[in-house]
């Protein structure tokens, strides 16, 4: 039999990190000691009190059954309490909060709820790759909004043609931003909410990195903007905040009709987050927050070490206010792909080419701060030895 894939996946480029993994494997075969600053997966463990909550919950047979589709009410209440405390935003746990099996899952499903064939989705470029593929899977058309240094890596809404705005159904935004590490201020979110009202566009704000911020900076929730709840939902995740990427727990909050439609898609596809994991999630959100302070300090120290080292090695770079990424200008004579290949083959250091996140990402590489200080010092040594300066 001839196995014929559907058009929607036939021409899909390989998932960015799958391609990098393959290159990494090839270098590993040569015996090189690879340091991986590629994928944004925290190297630190989940705090022990969260693990203990899971262990207890896992023993209770009540938690062995199918969970509720929308999430346990106790988990959704915990999310509401956390939002109130962290952002001073009130949420109705019943209608304005839904649990997700990681925010990637919610982001991948939301276009299925709202996008008809040929509807336009506004997507940041560079951006988290799932916005684009989810749009494609729903039959929608991506309109990319360049994130440029001269605009502090914020989209310039005035550059979006009127006709595009009239056909746009959804807009993805993501601050603190992956991959540029940029942050957005209140004025930007106000403009986004105003645009959404004006053109009937649903905003999906991906807020996966709001808790990883430095030097006392506190990123905003888009829901802090008056009237945002009329047009927006926000995706949040426990993955990065509590080193829980492998646990697959996250949530979406905001406009109840948008949340309900996402729930409608999900009920037909998945059966919710395992209860024991939700119970551990409650402990993460409402329990001792000291580990989060430690996590942030750790990233901040790594950031300072690597930024200083890369500057000495000849790179131009600003220390980011949030996320655990550095968005680094490439050097003359390189493209982003050439520079990442060079760093991998000559220094056994894995980084990600900016162009992998979209054409406007060309000119940069992304470096994740997900190894310890000793390894970062080793990275700096190896890069300095390449003699760029
Ligand atoms: C911007 C952004 N959004 C969402 C996610 C997905 O996170 P999770 O599915 O673990 O919640 C990631 C993961 O790297 C990310 O970088």
The domain limits of the chain are 7-45+290-385, 48-286
Q: How confident is the model at residue 373 (pLDDT cuts 50, 70, 90)?
A: very high
Rounded percentage of the chain residues whose pLDDT exceeds 70: 99
| H and E: helices and strands count for the chain | 13, 12
* pLDDT value for 17: 73
User: Does the CB atom of residue 352 touch ligand 1 within 6 A?
Assistant: no
Q: How far apart are CA 250 and CA 291, in angstroms?
A: 19
Q: At what angle do helices 130-137 and 103-114 cross, to 10 degrees?
A: 40
Burial class of 368 by CB neighbour count within 10 A (0 to 12, 13 to 18, 19+): buried
Q: How confident is the model at residue 355 (pLDDT cuts 50, 70, 90)?
A: very high
Nearest CA to ligand 1 atom 16: 178
The answer to whether 365 and 337 are in contact (CB under 8 A) is no
Class of domain 48-286: alpha beta
Atom of ligand 1 lying closest to residue 39 CA: 14
Please name the residue ranges forming H helices in 148-255: 162-167, 186-199
* pLDDT value for 282: 98
Atom of ligand 1 lying closest to residue 127 CA: 1
Q: How confident is the model at residue 206 (pLDDT cuts 50, 70, 90)?
A: very high
Domain 7-45+290-385 has CATH 3.40.50.2000: no
């Amino acid at each position: 039999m001839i196995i014929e894939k559907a058009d929607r996946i036939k021409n899909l480029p390989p998932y960015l990190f799958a391609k990098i993994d393959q290159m990494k494997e090839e270098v590993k075969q040569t015996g090189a000691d690879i340091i991986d600053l590629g994928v944004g997966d925290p190297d630190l463990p989940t705090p022990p009190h969260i693990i203990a909550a899971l262990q207890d919950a896992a023993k209770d047979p009540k938690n062995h059954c199918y969970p509720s589709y929308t999430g346990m009410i106790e988990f959704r209440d915990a999310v509401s309490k956390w939002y109130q405390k962290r952002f001073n935003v009130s949420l109705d746990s019943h209608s304005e909060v839904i649990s997700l099996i990681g925010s990637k899952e919610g982001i991948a499903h939301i276009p299925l709820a709202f996008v008809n064939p040929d509807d336009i989705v506004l997507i940041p470029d560079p951006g988290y790759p799932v916005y684009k593929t989810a749009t494609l899977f729903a039959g929608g058309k991506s309109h990319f909004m360049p994130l440029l240094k001269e605009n502090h890596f914020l989209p310039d809404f005035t550059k979006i043609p009127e006709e595009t705005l009239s056909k746009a159904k959804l807009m993805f935004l993501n601050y603190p931003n992956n991959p540029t590490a940029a942050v957005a201020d209140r004025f930007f979110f106000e403009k986004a909410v105003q645009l959404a009202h004006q053109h009937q566009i649903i905003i999906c704000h991906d807020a996966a990195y709001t808790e990883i911020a430095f030097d006392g900076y506190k990123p905003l929730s888009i829901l802090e903007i008056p009237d945002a709840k009329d047009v927006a939902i926000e995706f949040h995740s426990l993955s990065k905040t509590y080193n829980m990427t492998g646990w697959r727990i996250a949530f979406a909050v905001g406009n109840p009709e948008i949340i309900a439609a996402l729930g409608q898609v999900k009920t037909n596809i998945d059966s919710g987050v395992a209860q024991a994991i939700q119970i551990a999630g409650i402990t993460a959100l409402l329990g001792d927050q000291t580990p989060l302070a430690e996590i942030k300090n750790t990233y901040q120290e790594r950031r300072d070490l690597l930024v200083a080292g890369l500057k000495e090695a000849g790179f131009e770079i600003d220390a980011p206010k949030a996320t655990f990424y550095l968005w680094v200008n490439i050097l003359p004579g390189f493209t982003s792909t050439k520079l990442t290949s060079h760093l991998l083959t000559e220094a056994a250091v894995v980084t990600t080419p900016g162009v992998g996140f979209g054409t406007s990402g060309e000119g940069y590489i992304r470096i994740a701060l997900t190894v310890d200080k000793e390894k970062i010092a080793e990275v700096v040594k190896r890069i300095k030895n390449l003699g760029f300066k």
